[in-house]
Amino acid sequence: MIFFKKNLKIFILLPFLQIILWSCGQDPTIFEKEFDTPLMNQNEKFRFSGDYDALVNLNKSYYKRAERIGYKEGKALCYINLAQLNMSLENFQKAQVLLDNAEEILRYSENNIHKAIFYNIYSRFNAELRRNDKAFEYNNKALSSIMKAKHSELKNKILFYIYLRRGEFYVGKKQNTALKYFQKADKLDKTGLADCAISDYIYVQKNKDSAYKYISRAYAKMRAEKRNDAIALNIYTILGEYFLFNNQYDHAEKAFQKALEIDKRTSRIFANYTKYIYNDLRTLYEKKGDKEKAYTYLQAYTLAKNRTNTSLLATINQDMESFIDETVQDSEKRSRHIRWIVFFSFIGLALLGIYTWRIILQLRKRKSALAIEAEMLKNRMNDNKQEELMELVRKNDAEFLQHFKEVYPDFIKKLLAINPDLENSELSFCAMLKLHFTSKEIAAFTLIQHRTVQQKKYRIRKRLNIPTETDIYHFFDVLK
């Protein structure tokens, strides 16, 4: 018993001493093989499949494991992964908190791969917030860091994403250097994402054949890998847009509908993608002349944009608060700075309240903007009908009056209310004046003399009791 009491402290401290000795003596590449690479590969799998719950639980379990073995950089990777998840859901406030935690850990780290991962995600974060110069600065830091790292599977994976993002920056800057980095990314890519980026970029440069070659390559890779995830979602969307702009509407419709089908499974992570597919479908049906479906997808687009992440925001905040609470508790056990924790929690809640308020204001603005957009679409529909009527006049088509009655039913009724004895030829003539055709144009299109048109105008004035001092075009303009 005396022996036990004397050595009790040794038995208690022994596990901690073993962890310290193990972590100090380990080769850093062991961490990369046994922790970093499996975590990042599994995280990407869950992210692309849209498995939100599995992704959150994966990073929670790896965070606890990193805590047990004293691997701080491992904890930073968990913060970065969850920050990226929040960015996809446009929960930038929470993403900033998680990225700040990761930055604090990596501030004095010598692990270039971890730094490259952080800088690349932070680059994307700034790009999402339209801080383009800052985003490019961090992409440079990511590229510089990854080039210092030793060759590995993880290095190539991170380098691929850095090249891809760099190409996107140069596209934004309208510089041809974009293609160079997309092609570098393509050499490291087996998914088809780089092919999509190249196809999209080349098509803008009016190289239709090459664009189709690359999107076809992406599609082939997707089919070979039997992908049905967010990568397939991107490929189907780009493929649909290619067909759309080449007026292959049936192919475009199939691709967009397939993208929409995948989007339903991945939307818990890629929630901000749905509205873009709705917008593509809106454009497709507008080009096909199916105004009803175009308007339906405009409404769907409006609703998707209005509720962008609001339904998921509550869930993600709850999960992230839970995760941050766990990490805060770990920190409390070591630092005992309870007052600082309470202070920062209060600040965090205050910022969250401000952020929620700003989200509500933004949603109201978006709702107003989309209402205007809906009105513009209606006006475009009316403009199309107006153009169709004018074309019938130019062709001297006998169907003109019937189509005009469908577009302006009240106008004809009001004319007949003034004079019920008006003949169809007179109604047709009034309709042409309503559309602001000049006397010369009416004469040319109806194959009569200009003098005859003037005589018809005079007769119409008499038949409708239009005063001589009243401009006849104005009279029909106000007669709606």
**pLDDT tens by residue, 466-475:** 998 989 889 9
Q: What angle do CA 202, 205, 211 make, to 5 degrees?
A: 30
Token pair 């992964």 is found at 81
Domains for the chain: give ranges and CATH numbers. Answer: 395-478 (1.10.10)
Return the number of other C-beta atoms located less than 10 Å from residue 253's C-beta: 18
Rounded-to-integer distance, Cα 199 and Cα 177, Å: 15
Q: pLDDT-based confidence at 146, cuts 50/70/90?
A: very high
Return the number of other C-beta atoms located less than 10 Å from residue 103's C-beta: 16
* Most confident residue range from 179-183, 201-205, 476-480: 179-183
> Each residue of 81-117: pLDDT tens digit?
999 999 888 788 899 999 999 999 999 888 999 999 9
Q: Are 280 and 237 in contact (CB under 8 A)?
A: yes
Residue 307 pLDDT: 60
Residue 371 pLDDT: 55
- The region of weakest confidence among 63-72, 198-207, 401-410 is 198-207
Name which residue leads in pLDDT, 1 or 107: 107
- The region of weakest confidence among 164-168, 240-244, 299-303 is 299-303
Rounded-to-integer distance, Cα 454 and Cα 167, Å: 65
Share of the chain above pLDDT 70, in %: 82
pLDDT average, residue stretch 387-401: 86
C-alpha 174 chain-centroid distance: 20
The amino acid at residue 313 is: L
pLDDT average, residue stretch 449-468: 91
Name which residue leads in pLDDT, 129 or 8: 129
Rounded-to-integer distance, Cα 299 and Cα 373, Å: 10
Q: Taking 80 as the threshold, does the pLDDT of residue 36 lie above it?
A: yes
Residue 114 pLDDT: 92
Name the DSSP class of 102.
Answer: H
Q: pLDDT-based confidence at 334, cuts 50/70/90?
A: low
Mean of the per-residue pLDDT values for the chain? 82
Q: pLDDT-based confidence at 476, cuts 50/70/90?
A: confident
The amino acid at residue 293 is: K
Give the CB-side neighbour count of residue 262, counting CA atoms within 13 A: 22
Q: Are 76 and 114 in contact (CB under 8 A)?
A: yes
Name which residue leads in pLDDT, 156 or 273: 156
Q: Taking 70 as the threshold, does the pLDDT of residue 152 lie above it?
A: yes
Tokens of 319: 């999960």
Q: Taking 90 as the threshold, does the pLDDT of residue 41 lie above it?
A: yes
Residue 160 pLDDT: 92
Residues sharing a CB contact under 8 Å with residue 213, sequence separation 6 or more, in sequence order: 199
3-state secondary structure 425-445: HHHHHHHHHHCCCCHHHHHHH
Name which residue leads in pLDDT, 468 or 328: 468
- The region of weakest confidence among 40-54, 89-103, 200-214, 373-387 is 373-387
Q: pLDDT-based confidence at 305, cuts 50/70/90?
A: low
The per-type count for the chain, helices as H runs and strands as E runs, is 24, 0
Of 263, 275, 273, the closest CA to residue 304 belongs to 275
* Most confident residue range from 154-163, 275-284, 343-352: 154-163
- The region of weakest confidence among 45-54, 92-101, 211-220, 266-275 is 266-275
C-alpha 31 chain-centroid distance: 35
Residue 311 pLDDT: 42
Rounded-to-integer distance, Cα 322 and Cα 84, Å: 17
Residue 343 pLDDT: 73
Residue 16 pLDDT: 45
Rounded-to-integer distance, Cα 230 and Cα 39, Å: 19
* Most confident residue range from 120-134, 261-275, 367-381: 120-134
Residue 176 pLDDT: 82
Share of the chain above pLDDT 90, in %: 29
- The region of weakest confidence among 22-26, 46-50, 140-144, 192-196 is 22-26
Residues sharing a CB contact under 8 Å with residue 228, sequence separation 6 or more, in sequence order: 262, 265
Of 62, 61, 57, 56, the closest CA to residue 77 belongs to 62
Query: 108: helix, coil or strand?
Result: coil
Q: Taking 60 as the threshold, does the pLDDT of residue 316 lie above it?
A: no
